[in-house]
Amino acid sequence: MYTEKVMDHFENPRNVGEIPDADGVGQVGNPTCGDIMKIYLKIDDGIIKDIKFKTFGCGAAIATSSMVTEMAKGKTIAEALQLSNKAVAEALGGLPPKKMHCSNLAADALHAAIQDYQNKQNK
């Protein structure tokens, strides 16, 4: 059902936790299945220097959260905004079709955290 990469990111998630003084925080959820993802960013000179996540959800939700943090770390804000849920799923070798709609909210959470950061910068 799940690829080896999905299972690896589920069993050994990367970048789990919170950043207390985060520059941006984004949270998204799917009321249908109950998955909730929260992403914390530390940005320096337009580059994502640190990124952490907390996810309440199924194995695929945890795996996509872990993968998106790996994909975004070290990228510029513009590069990170280009990451899509589809790209995250592809980086994991795919997700079962019934998991795509609820489990792969990871890029949405990343984009929400970037939006939060940008809103704070514009104040």
Catalytic residues: 33, 102
Given the structure tokens 């950043």, which residue do they identify? 19
Give the span between the Cα atoms of 75 and 43, in whole angstroms.
Answer: 10
Give the span between the Cα atoms of 82 and 18, in whole angstroms.
Answer: 23
Give me the phi and psi of 113, to 5 degrees please.
Answer: -65, -40
Helix (H) or strand (E) holding 116: helix 106-121
51 and 40 Cβ atoms separated by less than 8 Å = yes
- E runs forming strands in 1-123: 24-29, 36-44, 47-56
